[in-house]
Homo-oligomer: A and B are copies of this chain.
Amino acid sequence: MAVAKSKGYDVYPISFNYHQRHSIELEGAKKIASYYGVKKHLIIETNMEAIGGSALTDEKIEVPEGDVNRHSVPPTYVPARNLIFLSYAMGYAEVLGATHVYIGVNSVDYSGYPDCRPEFIEKFQALADYATTATAVKGQKITIETPLQDLSKKDIVLLGTKLGAPFQFTHSCYKGGEKACGICDSCKLRLRGFAEAGVEDPIAYETREV
């Protein structure tokens, strides 16, 4: 959102209550939307946990402790999540008359999710041109923007710092407690990024070791 704002766009954030373990990330999203003074913050509600298959939506599947060097897709993968999120965003972009859809996918220092990869985004863009009345019939272009795609976590922290992104309201931990756990993949990657950038991470952790 900080990147889109820095380019002068009016932003219309979408968040998803997909019955993930932690509603705390939605509370963070609301604070960020409010920080940027958006006209509207759309929250899509959906029972994605009914599909199953992920530690993030199924209490019976355990969130693993950090192993950011593993080579398989971890159980925190939510089947087709970014596909579903981008699909809603395309519908909303069409209704708003928006020209760009921003998504914060990243394929450096990440957990191997297929739907964060550049080839996924390229194929989604190719589909987007045929998916809505705006794009397929009226010839408007809706461009998927992924400003964080090729940045290391360190560079994301540096970029956010430069743009004044409110890191204090952001949430990365898979566990979703009041304080970040500090030991899941997501916490470890975040802490390493801040450490490498030489920036203090303003959120609270249970355990804080890189």
Whole-angstrom distance between the Cβ of A105 and the nearest chain B Cβ: 12
List chain B residues, Cβ under 8 A from A131.
Answer: 80, 83, 114-115, 120, 123
Let me know if A133 and B91 touch, CB within 8 A: no
Copies in the complex: 2
Contact residue range for chain A?
35 or more
Interface residues of A in 75-133 (CB under 8 A from B): 77-81, 83-84, 86-88, 90-92, 94-95, 112-115, 117, 119-120, 123-124, 126-127, 129-133
Q: Which of B53, B88, B119 contacts A80 (CB 8 A)?
A: B88
Q: Point out the residue from B84, B123, B124 that lies within 8 Å of A88, measured CB to CB.
A: B84
Known: A83-B91, A114-B132, A115-B131. 9 other contacts (CB 8 A): A44-B47, A51-B92, A79-B90, A79-B91, A79-B132, A80-B94, A83-B127, A114-B130, A114-B133
Q: Which 7 residue pairs across A and B have the least CB separation, nearest first?
A: A80-B91, A114-B136, A79-B91, A53-B95, A123-B127, A46-B46, A83-B87
